Amino acid sequence: MAKAKTIPAKSLQAIQESKAPVNKKAARSRVGKLPDARADVPFDDDVAELKIYPRTVEDRAVYINPKTNRKLTEFQFKVLDLCAQIPKGKVTTYKKMADAVNSSPRAIGGVMRINPFCPQPVPCHRVVASDGFLGGFNGQWGAGGNMRNKRAKLEKEGCKFNADGFIVADKSGDFNVFGDFDTSKL
């Protein structure tokens, strides 16, 4: 029964050629890190729960992020606001978001990590890596991570994935990265 868990390079190539939505770059080492389920993290595909999100400057000034026990910075709110613009059933990438606020993808990831407003109104599960890979969730990346829940949430919204954790279609049936951010109201 025991089979190799790593994915043969050929399969990866096939995946890239036929389905890779964004770049046709070769899959990276992270692909070999599947599966993504973690026994210690309960399954959760809820995409409806609505957290209270401080909108006004005053409210934001006093809000304490329960995840960090700290206030959120201006930049963090900016990124969260941006993320909140992603329509249901669509996804965007860390890079797109970074471009939108003149930041870097890693900084975006950093904010997603501490996002206390998941899954609403800040649907951080709709942010994937630039090549369509599901990426990280819940503070972890790839395998050790808990992509299962991120994936479950997206599937519930109508997105499709292949066996390796790459998105192949959003709700519309195609895959196109959402990048139409309105940065004017940040």
Q: How far is the CB of 8 from DNA (least distance, A)?
A: 7
Nearest residue (CB) to DNA, 23 versus 172: 23
**Do 90 and 17 form a contact (C-beta atoms < 8 A)?**
no
CA 153 to chain centre: 10
Distance (Å, rounded) from C-alpha 57 to C-alpha 174?
Answer: 38
119-133 burial: b if 16+ Cβ within 10 Å, else e: bebbbbbbbbbbbbb
Q: How far is the CB of 5 from DNA (least distance, A)?
A: 13
One of 83, 118, 124, 159 is an active-site residue; which one? 124
CA distances (Å), origin 113, targets 10, 116, 175: 33, 9, 24
In the list 19, 88, 120, 141, the residue contacting DNA (rule: CB under 7 A) is: 141
**Residue 124 annotated in active site:** yes
Interface residues with DNA (CB under 7 A) are 8-9, 12-13, 23, 25-29, 32, 68, 70, 73, 75-76, 93-95, 102-107, 109-113, 115, 118, 124-125, 127, 129-131, 135-141, 145
The residues that are catalytic are: 124
